[in-house]
């Protein structure tokens, strides 16, 4: 398959960029368990296709991270990349094609870097002008050997340091990232939080996720908006305590199961609302 054919295929899928890397090159970023799982999904894997999908709809007010306001990206990317796989299977019926999005054993950011897809931000996010870092990543794992030129690995960002300086939890260190100080991670953790982490959520304006490092990034000064209807329509910008209070896990999933903030169930959201001083039946 030519590069032009794959360009058309991924463009039709809604991706704003794609690249590829040999599976063998990605193995050094995977532990043994991840490699075993990947190779059970696709015996004898040869190639990994990495694709980026934009979700930005504007910096709208709300108490949810922008990525969590549209339809769950796991569902959207699996469906869209599933269509890519269906087309490839028809063209190459002797080969296997497996789509993945976040829950895949493949390290998607490493795959994107090796594939030369975008720029690597200090905050660990892939940046793809003109869409910025407001991207979801997905992969296609295949045993099809691709006879295409290899791209140079993605460069690092300009390193201005604005994301590290603005991070409210101080999660971005000089050469490392501490997830236990990241507000996005903390809002999604289960159970009671240690006092220091609970204090961070008390003063955090979002009940789920955190967009601070992306908002201050120079590459996100004027990002292009997504054209995908799943991330443009039916958005939920805000949650309130009343929307999650009293719901069983099943009832919560029935109401919000197609949203990315639903995967942990209602308990973390209730805890976050309580820490921020919101109570069901009040205006907060």
* CA dist., res. 59 & res. 182, Å (int): 20
For residue 83, what are its two tokens? 């269509």
The dihedral through the CA atoms of 171, 172, 174, 176 has a sign that is positive
Q: Which residues contact 226 (CB under 8 A, 6 or more apart)?
A: 53, 54, 55, 56, 57, 131, 134, 232
Catalytically annotated residue among 102, 199, 242, 258: 102
What are residue 54's DSSP bridge partners? 135
Phi, psi of 200 (to 5 degrees): -65, -40
What three-state secondary structure class fits 132? coil
What DSSP character marks residue 28? G
What DSSP character marks residue 274? H
What DSSP character marks residue 69? S
* CA-closest candidate to residue 84, choices 144, 158, 30: 144
* CA-closest candidate to residue 256, choices 230, 272, 236, 231: 236
What distance lies between CA 7 and its chain's CA centroid? Answer: 22
* CA dist., res. 106 & res. 165, Å (int): 30
In this structure, are residues 209 and 67 in contact, taking their beta carbons and an 8 Å threshold?
Answer: yes
Place of tokens 């870097």: 113
* CA dist., res. 4 & res. 234, Å (int): 34
The answer to whether 258 is a known catalytic residue is no
Q: Which sequence positions are flagged as catalytic? A: 102
């Amino acid at each position: 398959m030519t590069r032009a054919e794959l360009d058309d295929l991924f463009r039709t899928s809604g991706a704003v960029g794609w690249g590829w890397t040999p599976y063998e090159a990605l193995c050094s970023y995977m532990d043994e368990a991840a490699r075993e799982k990947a190779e059970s999904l696709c015996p004898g894997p040869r190639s990994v296709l990495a694709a980026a999908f934009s979700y930005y709809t504007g910096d709208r007010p709300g108490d949810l991270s922008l990525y969590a306001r549209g339809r769950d990206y796991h569902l959207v990317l699996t469906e869209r990349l599933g269509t890519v796989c269906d087309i490839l299977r028809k063209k190459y019926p002797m080969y296997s094609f497996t789509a993945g999005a976040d829950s895949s054993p493949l390290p998607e950011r490493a795959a994107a870097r090796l594939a030369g897809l975008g720029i690597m931000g200090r905050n660990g996010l892939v940046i793809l002008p003109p869409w910025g870092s407001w991207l979801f990543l997905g992969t296609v794992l295949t045993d099809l050997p691709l006879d295409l030129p290899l791209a140079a690995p993605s460069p690092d960002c300009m390193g201005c340091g604005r994301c590290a300086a603005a991070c409210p939890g101080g999660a971005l260190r000089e050469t490392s990232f501490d997830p236990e100080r990241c507000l996005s991670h903390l809002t999604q953790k289960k159970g009671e939080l240690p006092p220091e982490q609970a204090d961070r959520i008390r003063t955090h304006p979002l009940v789920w996720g955190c967009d601070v490092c992306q908002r201050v990034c120079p590459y996100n000064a004027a990002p292009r908006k997504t054209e995908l209807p799943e991330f443009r329509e039916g958005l939920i910008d805000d949650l309130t305590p009343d929307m999650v209070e009293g719901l069983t896990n099943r009832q919560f999933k029935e109401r919000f199961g197609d949203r990315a903030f639903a995967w942990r169930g209602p308990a973390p959201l209730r805890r976050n609302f309580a820490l921020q001083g919101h109570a069901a039946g009040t205006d907060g």
